[in-house]
Amino acid sequence: MKNIVLFGGGLHANVCIDILEKEGKYKIVGIIDSMAEIGAMLYGYPVIGRQENLVNLINEYKIEAGFISIGDNYSRKFVRDYIVSQVPDFVFVNAIHPSVIVGKNVKLGCGIVMMAGVIVNPDSQIQDFCILNTGAQLEHNCLMEEYSHLSAGSITGGKVKIGKFSAITLGVIILDRVTIGENTVVGSGSLVMHDLPDNVLAYGNPAAIIRKREPGEKFLKSM
CATH number for position 118: 2.160.10.10
Of 64, 86, 108, the position where a domain reaches its end is 86
Residues 111 and 65 in one domain: no
Three-class secondary structure of residue 83 per DSSP: helix
Residues 70 and 172 in one domain: no
CA separation, residue 83 to residues 5, 20, 88, 92 (Å): 12, 20, 8, 10
Instruction: Give the full edge-to-edge strand order of the sheet including 167-168.
Output: 95-96, 113-114, 131-132, 149-150, 167-168, 185-186, 200-204, 207-212
218 within some domain: no
Instruction: Provide mean pLDDT across the span 79-97.
Output: 98
Report which residue type is found at 77: K
Q: What is the pLDDT of residue 221?
A: 67
Residues 45 and 141 in one domain: no
Residues 78 and 117 in one domain: no
Q: Is 205 exposed, middle or buried (0-12, 13-18, 19+ CB in 10 A)?
A: exposed
Cβ neighbors of 102 (< 8 A, separation 6 or more) are 96, 108, 120
37 within some domain: yes
181 within some domain: yes
Q: Are 179 and 195 in contact (CB under 8 A)?
A: yes
Q: What range defines the domain where residue 117 resides? A: 95-211
Of 86, 114, 142, the position where a domain reaches its end is 86
Averaged pLDDT score across all residues of the chain: 97
pLDDT digits (tens, 9 = 90+) for 103-158: 999 999 999 999 999 999 999 999 999 999 999 999 999 999 999 999 999 999 99
Residues 60 and 81 in one domain: yes
Residues 166 and 69 in one domain: no
Let me know how many helices (H) and strands (E) the chain has, helices first.
3, 24
Give the residues across from 200 on adjacent strands.
212
- pTM for this predicted structure: 0.95
pLDDT digits (tens, 9 = 90+) for 32-86: 999 999 999 999 999 999 999 999 999 999 999 999 999 999 999 999 999 999 9
Q: How many domains does the chain have?
A: 2
Residues 37 and 120 in one domain: no
Q: Are 159 and 143 in contact (CB under 8 A)?
A: no
206 within some domain: yes
199 within some domain: yes
Domain of 63, CATH number, reads 3.40.50.20
Q: Which of 109-113's residues contact partners 24+ apart within 8 Å by CB, and which partners? A: 109/146, 111/67, 111/68, 111/76, 111/80, 113/15, 113/16, 113/19, 113/67, 113/69
150 within some domain: yes
Of 86, 106, 136, the position where a domain reaches its end is 86
Residues 106 and 46 in one domain: no
Residues 111 and 139 in one domain: yes
